[in-house]
Structure 1
Amino acid sequence: MTIALICFAVLLLLGVPIAYVLGMTTVIYIFATDNMGLLLTVPQRLYSGMENYGLLAIPLFMLAGELMNSGGITKRLVNVAKQFFGHYLGGLAYVNVIANMMLAAIIGSATAQIAMMSRTMVPEMEKSGYSKEFSTAITAAAGLLGPIIPPSMMFIIYGVSSGASIGEMFVAGVIPGILLGFSFMVIIAIIGMKQQWPKQERTSMKEKLDSFIKVIPALLVPVIIIVGILSGVFTATESAAIASVVALVVGLFVYRELKLSELPSIFASMVITTSVITVLIAMANIFGWMLSFEQVPQQIAAWMVSLSDSPIVFLLLVNIFLLFVGMFMDGIAALVILVPIFMPLLPAYNVDPIHFGIIICINLTIGILTPPVGSGLFIASSITKVSIGSLVKSLWPFLIVSIIVLLLLTYIPALSLWIPSLK
């Protein structure tokens, strides 16, 4: 086992893709222990890792997001936010956060959202008098809302890995997402008191009403998802299929900006991204199987219990560990590796799996904006041409408030569990 773990660390440091790292480590373990019988069951384990109905939600939600984006959803969301909030001091900063909150209910991916909004909002804010560093920082920070407000790819993967209800994970993310977005707006207000930020002219009520009516079809997708799951009309996976159909109809016949000629490229993008995630999950399954064979989860559980039997201490240690992991590893990769290890610990500390899912997903999402490996940092920096150092300096207030929100969600379970309890 020691040889396998050393190989795991070396391959990670060499920059080998995480899916290959997991698979190669498992094969090295089998040969190092001379347990060739395990090799015969690897194909079955790979297949069983993908044989989960919940995984169908990933390509379907990605399809819905791609269809809505190609159908002109982004500019309509930004426009309606401008109409209602642009006239306040620092209005475009608020618009950035609010537009990201609405966009999160369609995309479900932080990196995709950061890339899209960096191209849309940063030039707009810069033209209005905001510094490029602050504009990039608020855009990157607001991208954290992508995996929290449902639908969320990370929630789906957590549900599949842990056995928790994906539908309950979706609705549990509503209040945390709103709380995080509101916290960012508080930071904007505080910073705005010290700086003379510009504001736009107040628009008439008629203009506001017109922009709101135009965006209603776009907002049908998240409404259908949340209402459908809460009412029990359909599951999270079924809601993804319905959302895709609604997105297609809205893009083709309501906004009329989606072209049939664009569908092949949309499907190709969805297939490529889904394949990457699927291979990662399959490899993580055999890696987790190796850890279980060596009773690593049980050993970690015994060690954690020996440290303290207090849920408060346990959750604090988990958060510190996850924040450290998030600095060096992609969130989805860390999720598929760590969830099988942590799940056996939850009953011992009486921690609800849905509550824990919100904690681990938000914690690892923060990692995309923390150096040295934060993918969100590099995406925003490469698009806006702001140096990583300047971006991190402007990001610190938002990272600090994100950690404060994480701690609130950790120690006030009702913030995550109240809406699921209404089902």
Structure 2
Amino acid sequence: MTPLIFIVNLLLAVPVALVLALTAIWYIWESGNTILYDSFAQKMFSGIENYGLLAIPLFMLTGEMMNEGGMTRRLINAARIFVGGFRGGLAYINLLANMFMAAIIGSATAQIAVMARAMTPEMEKEGYDKGFAAATTAAGGLLAPVIPPSMMFVIFGVLAQIPIGDMFLAGVVPGLMLAVSFALVIAAVGFLRGFPRGAWYTGREAVSALLFCLPAALIPLAIIGGILFGIATPTESAAIASLIAFLVGWLVYRELKPSTLFAMFRRTAVSASMIIFMIAAANVFGWVIIYEALPQKLASLITSLTADPFVFLLIVNVVLLGVGMVIDGIAAVILITPILLPIAMNNYEISPYQFGVVICLNLVLGLLTPPVGVGLYIASTMSGTSPGRILRALWPFLLAVAVVLILLSRFPSLSTMLIQT
């Protein structure tokens, strides 16, 4: 009966956090073990007693301050220096600016919202198809869950009980691979469609754009540099980054007003609380998984099909593509990790870092695929383009992601090389 309750609630579009909590309550009632009711609240609270979870609201706050402080526009201008003169230059600028933003925001939906509003009108003005412009922006948002810092990596690291800093390092090479694959897609589509050639900045314009961008560039340097050199934990790096974003936006660019801080704190608190409540509910849902021995039963089923780690990851990829289409990426990570990670580690000796990168990238694809497709609809709303038109231009990017996923599944070193060194 418990699995039925879980499935029915999901199909009725009940928020995932409530689905997890209600399923656990039903299981306790059905089992007759009323003592578990007494520790229900305690179990939920213990699920969020983790220092690493503080990074989530801090990274969100950094993104809010960047948007308010005018840093996004200056990062886009800096991207123009490096790729602006190529054929299809504005599409490359879009991609490179998304890489910069991914190293700061860490949230795909937030990044798609910001970049779709900024880049789609510009690309349309220069003669690009509106659907392709929105599709490029939406695809660029997929870099956010892979290039550190990533909110999904923070959540996976907490659930898997592995260092979040190492999890961030595991995403560096896959993130660069994804960016290169998107650049190849832009080059191929540009060659076939005859994209307009961009214009290079003059020397003076390039120096000016670079100087204006340098204060904003301190933010990703503080986040990644602090973690990479062991100066700060991810949470401390997020706190430093939010402070830098505030000071740069207020004192350097003079676009961020202290009077707007309360509104930003409120938006951050609301967004972060939904994610943290899901994690708390997932900790209670862990009772159901443990008592039902779900990982062990699933492991015996999968190991009867294959003993090859690569084939196992391919099976997981196919299953998660379906899961990601109907469940939000963060919610899916919270649901899937406790079930599949023990199987990956114990039965197939797969590194938790490789597994985390693969499932996070896979699940975020659901942002751009119907029927849920939150990122697709955000890009559609912000750009004024129909979801169908975006989807028609998006498929080469989705194919590129599939190729990268296969490579990451086949070669563990792509995810672990920086950790090993």
TM-score normalised according to structure 2 size: 0.97
Query: Could you tell me how far apart the structure 1 residues matched to 2:196 and 2:156 are?
Result: 42
Identity %: 50
User: What residue identity is the alignment partner of 1:221?
Assistant: I
Q: Which moved more, 1:31-40 or 1:64-73?
A: 31-40
Query: Could you tell me how far apart the structure 1 residues matched to 2:332 and 2:200 are?
Result: 46
Kept in 2, the 8 Å contact 1:322–1:363? The answer is yes
Query: Could you tell me how far apart the structure 2 residues matched to 1:373 and 1:35 are?
Result: 37
Query: Could you tell me how far apart the structure 2 residues matched to 1:407 and 1:309 are?
Result: 18
CA displacement at 1:212 relative to structure 2:
1.3
User: What residue identity is the alignment partner of 1:384?
Assistant: S
* Structure-1 residue corresponding to 2:106: 108
Superposed CA deviations along residues 162-186 of structure 1, whole A, max 9, x for unmatched, are 1011001112211111111111110
Kept in 2, the 8 Å contact 1:288–1:337? The answer is no
Superposed CA deviations along residues 310-358 of structure 1, whole A, max 9, x for unmatched, are 1122111111111111111101001011101122111321111111111
* Structure-1 residue corresponding to 2:157: 159
Query: Could you tell me how far apart the structure 1 residues matched to 2:195 and 2:405 are?
Result: 29
Query: Could you tell me how far apart the structure 2 residues matched to 1:61 and 1:389 are?
Result: 32
User: What residue identity is the alignment partner of 1:246?
Assistant: I
User: What residue identity is the alignment partner of 1:420?
Assistant: I
> Where do residues 315-354 of structure 1 align in structure 2 (5 Å cutoff)?
315-345=313-343, 346-354=345-353
CA RMSD of aligned residues (A): 1.3
User: What residue identity is the alignment partner of 2:369?
Assistant: T
Determine which of 183, 192, 205 is the counterpart of 1:194. Answer: 192
Secondary structure of the residue aligned to 1:327 is: helix
Query: Could you tell me how far apart the structure 1 residues matched to 2:356 and 2:57 are?
Result: 21
> Where do residues 254-333 of structure 1 align in structure 2 (5 Å cutoff)?
254-333=252-331
Residue 250 (str. 1) matches residue 248 (str. 2): yes
Residue 26 (str. 1) matches residue 24 (str. 2): yes
Query: Could you tell me how far apart the structure 2 residues matched to 1:386 and 1:25 are?
Result: 39
* Structure-1 residue corresponding to 2:365: 366
> Where do residues 138-153 of structure 1 align in structure 2 (5 Å cutoff)?
138-153=136-151
Q: How many residues align?
A: 420
Determine which of 126, 129, 142 is the counterpart of 1:128. Answer: 126
* Structure-1 residue corresponding to 2:6: 8
* Structure-2 residue corresponding to 1:118: 116
* Structure 1: stretches of 5+ with no match in the other structure: none
User: What residue identity is the alignment partner of 2:16?
Assistant: I
Superposed CA deviations along residues 145-175 of structure 1, whole A, max 9, x for unmatched, are 1111111100000000110110011122111
* Structure-2 residue corresponding to 1:356: 355
Residue 395 (str. 1) matches residue 403 (str. 2): no
Secondary structure of the residue aligned to 2:266 is: helix
Query: Could you tell me how far apart the structure 1 residues matched to 2:235 and 2:36 are?
Result: 33
Query: Could you tell me how far apart the structure 2 residues matched to 1:282 and 1:36 are?
Result: 20
CA displacement at 1:92 relative to structure 2:
0.7
CA displacement at 1:83 relative to structure 2:
3.2
Q: Which moved more, 1:11-20 or 1:93-102?
A: 11-20
> Where do residues 168-183 of structure 1 align in structure 2 (5 Å cutoff)?
168-183=166-181
Superposed CA deviations along residues 278-327 of structure 1, whole A, max 9, x for unmatched, are 11111111112211111112211222222222112211111111111111
Kept in 2, the 8 Å contact 1:381–1:388? The answer is yes
Kept in 1, the 8 Å contact 2:341–2:355? The answer is no
User: What residue identity is the alignment partner of 1:195?
Assistant: R
Query: Could you tell me how far apart the structure 1 residues matched to 2:142 and 2:55 are?
Result: 21
* Structure 2: stretches of 5+ with no match in the other structure: none
User: What residue identity is the alignment partner of 2:358?
Assistant: I
Kept in 2, the 8 Å contact 1:150–1:222? The answer is no
TM-score normalised according to structure 1 size: 0.96
Please identify runs of 4+ aligned residues in structure 1 that moved more than 4 A: none
Determine which of 45, 62, 65 is the counterpart of 1:64. Answer: 62
Query: Could you tell me how far apart the structure 2 residues matched to 1:387 and 1:60 are?
Result: 33
Secondary structure of the residue aligned to 2:326 is: coil
User: What residue identity is the alignment partner of 2:149?
Assistant: P
Kept in 2, the 8 Å contact 1:159–1:165? The answer is yes
Query: Could you tell me how far apart the structure 1 residues matched to 2:89 and 2:162 are?
Result: 39
CA displacement at 1:12 relative to structure 2:
1.1
